[in-house]
Structure 1
Amino acid sequence: MAVTLSSYEVSDLCLGKPPLKSLSITSTLSDALHTLKRSHENYLSVWTCNHSSKKELMNECQCVGKICMVDIVCYLCNEENIASPSTALDNPVSVLLPKVDGLVRHVDSHLSLLDAIDLILKGAQNLVVPIRSNITINSRKKLHQKASTSPNLHNGIEFCWLTQEDVVRFLLNSIGLFSPIPAYSIESLGIVKNNIFAVSYYDPASSAVDTISSALLGQTSVAVVDDEGKLIGEISPITLASCDETVTTAITTLSAGDLMAYIDFGCPPEDMVRVVKARLKERNLQGMLELLDECSNSALSSSSSSSDDESSSLSNSSLRISGRFNRSGSYSTRMVNSAEAIVCHPGSSLVAVMMQAIVHRINYVWVIEDDYSLVGIVTFTDILKVLQSVA
């Protein structure tokens, strides 16, 4: 089995992957917001390149991290920033990069799959891989010349990155190699973690900001539970990453339970938007109000100009704070009795849990009992450890 897997390289997993959307480390948070809203990607890679330099060397052009909307939102929710979010957005993106080494790692395209898994289990979340190309030397020179105008080219080379999801998806396609382990229950394999991030339904959402940041860093989520410890839903960084910066106002003013409703179903309910505005006024958070109104007016103008039916457009856009809400399906409120619940039981098989996570594009699955009591969580990291042990 190990011989079979060792024959694969990371380049085999990169086929068809798009080039990274890049951002200079000197860019501001406003720049990052603008790029995120134009991009179809939830994450941006942050680079130390100076594309204005004609003497740029390969070792001077490095991806040093990644950021997403959740990073910006949590930063704006900090006590020192909620009074003046516009000022905070003038800061460089470097303020968002976690003080954790090795989250992003450059690797050669010929790195073996087994070595890549080893790097991931040591803490790497994204492996930056050069995209192979058969272009001529002259074409390469032309690409290098364009590097000064294209932030996604680095020394004339495009890169993509591999994630835990990419690796688990690849292994799932070869799951028969690991038999009989995939049929074992997650409980018997000992991969159900009970050290989870959780908040109470009635807790202020603002009290969960640090927890959301930790969940984002750990590629998991924040469970929302009732007084008996039963899973009600979650505040998912994946969902927050599809929002825009105005969700900061909801986190600042709503409870954890209300925040789930605010970010669910593609757009915030109109009555909740009114509640958020009223509470911002009560706390005299004029900067947050201006942020909310500015983005609302921008979305309203965009919707009105692009619709054939102006009255219908105005009606719909009154509920929509950002077009980013519609960009992906919502995973925020995973009610355990709904069809979209991303939950399993201790007796669920490893392969079933893998399939659940892959289908829903998440790195974890909540584990519950029959009465919906929250037992713990299973993550891709734990799954990869099991598969590595038998590879």
Structure 2
Amino acid sequence: MAVSLLTGQVSDLCLGKPALKSLSISSTIGDALLALKRLGENFISIWSCDQHHHNLSAVDRGFKECQCVGKVCMVNIICFLCKEENLSNPATALQTPLSVLIPTSPCLVRHLEPKASLLDAIDLIQEGAQNLVIPLESSSKTLSRKKIVQGTLSNISTLHNNNRQYCWLTQEDIIRYLLNSIGLFCPTAANPINSLDIIDTRNKMALHYDNPASSALPFISRSLEFQASVAIVDSDGKLVREISPFTLNYCDEDVAAAIATLSAGDLLAYVDCGGPPEDLVQLVKKRLQERNLEQALELVEEYSSGASISTSHSSSSSDDEFGMGRSARWMGYSARAVRRSEAIVCYPWSSLVAVMIQALTRRTLSWRCRKVGNLRVNPDAPRCGFSSKVVNGLREAGVSFGWLDILTDDEVRQGLEVISNWLTIPQPYYKGKLVGGCDIILELKTMMSRMPELKTMCV
């Protein structure tokens, strides 16, 4: 059965996928900014051809003439605007050709035929691909929807190569697909991550809480390539928060001014859901004035009053029509992400499936940490908030479990301290292996309601 899973066609994963919205490589950065906001997309695909040339003659000249060459997101635009020369004149910077944001190496986005196997897709991802572009079966319904969108935003298209539509698969799509058949991967899925050689220790990116946020720009750019986050640490080097591309993608371009003027710690408060605090907005304005960045100051002032610099690039349609004005973006972030910029952590002995579920639920990476909390008294009367949540989560999921009072056994207690650098551990074990902490248990509980097999395998 595992063999049939891996040899299945990638078209199976494309069912229900929306057609890619696209821009031509000849478009401007302002066009991409407007498209991201108006369409509510996290990324927009960039194609080598003019999207209006999807006729037979164009196809006859060769498929390679019209290929997806990359993708652009809000983080790309924010990093571009953070450059001193662009921050001094954002409106002019937005007229720059979109090609400057597309890496010369095309490995991040790869084309794949719908009959290719899942194993082929996994091979491309292991080679560094983040998005796999797959042709979709055309239908009158999807084409009519395309016409509605294209009639509103004339430079946005979903059609290429003789009216063909495409979707793309991400690493997340494939992991979710594999998770539905996680039982086929036993016992590997239940093994601790520190036994699988999958902890990335080479591409760690960290910044001190009080350092200028601008010093994180190289890290933020790299975080897109590695699909990682930038760790924010305190004076002792302990992880306290993170700057995540996932969070920045729900921000607007005024964040470029915040990155240029605030500390890393203040930036975290600026981008947290709900919008920036007024005192930080005023601090950004003050520092922009001190640096004579008048046009960047206008950008922040326009956003603080609910306007947008991108209106100069917009069509006659209003932001309300699309629901993607300033306030709508922040409300959308609050409703969809439902989290701040706290880092999500796991432990070396957490199981692979637990970390997978944790990462997919939060849609971010998990930081591997060493220390954990402690379970006080017993499951019937826990005196610790985390311990109480773990106990209640297991009971609500219908999981039977026992407990051991380690406070009365010095040998067990010392052994636990060796592996965790802490006195006691509140996490459940399964067949002698530690499953995870409070966050992981609660996320497992949610998954168990949809996937009962996890109940017997993981806890």
TM-score (norm 1): 0.82
Moved more, 53-62 or 189-198: 53-62
For 1:56 and 1:150, the matched residues in 2 are separated by 18
Counterpart in the other structure of 2:163: 156
* Alignment pair present for 1:167 and 2:174: yes
Moved more, 97-106 or 119-128: 97-106
As a proportion of its length, which structure holds more helix?
2
For 2:43 and 2:64, the matched residues in 1 are separated by 23
Contact 1:45-1:66 at 8 Å conserved across structures: yes
Counterpart in the other structure of 1:309: none
Q: Give the paired residue count.
A: 345
* Alignment pair present for 1:365 and 2:373: no
Moved more, 249-258 or 77-86: 77-86
Contact 1:238-1:331 at 8 Å conserved across structures: no
Counterpart in the other structure of 1:68: 73
After superposition, what is the alpha-carbon deviation per residue over 1:186-223, rounded to whole angstroms, capped at 9, x for unaligned? 01112222231111101100011111000111111101
Contact 2:132-2:168 at 8 Å conserved across structures: yes
Counterpart in the other structure of 1:220: 228
For 1:80 and 1:331, the matched residues in 2 are separated by 33
Coordinate RMSD, CA, aligned: 2.7
Identical counterparts, % of pairs: 54
Task: List gaps (5 residues or longer) in structure 2.
Answer: 312-318, 374-419, 421-459
Contact 1:199-1:256 at 8 Å conserved across structures: yes
User: How far did residue 100 of structure 1 move?
Assistant: 2.4
Letter in 2 for 1:81: N
User: How far did residue 158 of structure 1 move?
Assistant: 1.1
* Alignment pair present for 1:92 and 2:100: no
Counterpart in the other structure of 2:426: none
For 2:155 and 2:200, the matched residues in 1 are separated by 47
Letter in 2 for 1:85: P
Moved more, 205-214 or 282-291: 282-291
For 1:248 and 1:330, the matched residues in 2 are separated by 23
For 1:332 and 1:203, the matched residues in 2 are separated by 20
Contact 1:50-1:56 at 8 Å conserved across structures: no
Q: Which structure would you say has the larger RCO, counting Cα contacts within 8 Å and 6 or more residues apart?
A: 1
Counterpart in the other structure of 1:233: 241
Match of 1:56 among 58, 82, 101: 58
For 1:59 and 1:4, the matched residues in 2 are separated by 32
* Alignment pair present for 1:78 and 2:117: no
For 2:330 and 2:133, the matched residues in 1 are separated by 28
Counterpart in the other structure of 1:276: 284
Q: Pick closer, same or farther for the CA change 1:5–1:34 going to 2, 3 Å.
A: same
After superposition, what is the alpha-carbon deviation per residue over 1:10-64, rounded to whole angstroms, capped at 9, x for unaligned? 1111111111111111111111111111112110000112244453223321110
For 1:210 and 1:200, the matched residues in 2 are separated by 15
List aligned pairs for 1:1-391, cutoff 5 A: 1-53=1-53, 55-57=57-59, 58-133=63-138, 151-154=157-160, 155-195=162-202, 196-299=204-307, 322-328=327-333, 329=337, 331-334=339-342, 342-362=344-364, 364-370=365-371
Larger radius of gyration: 2
Q: Pick closer, same or farther for the CA change 1:250–1:7 going to 2, 3 Å.
A: same
For 1:163 and 1:233, the matched residues in 2 are separated by 26
After superposition, what is the alpha-carbon deviation per residue over 1:251-274, rounded to whole angstroms, capped at 9, x for unaligned? 011000110011013311111111
Letter in 2 for 1:88: A
Letter in 1 for 2:194: E
For 2:174 and 2:201, the matched residues in 1 are separated by 24
User: How far did residue 298 of structure 1 move?
Assistant: 4.1
Contact 2:26-2:99 at 8 Å conserved across structures: yes
Contact 1:10-1:110 at 8 Å conserved across structures: yes
For 1:238 and 1:103, the matched residues in 2 are separated by 17
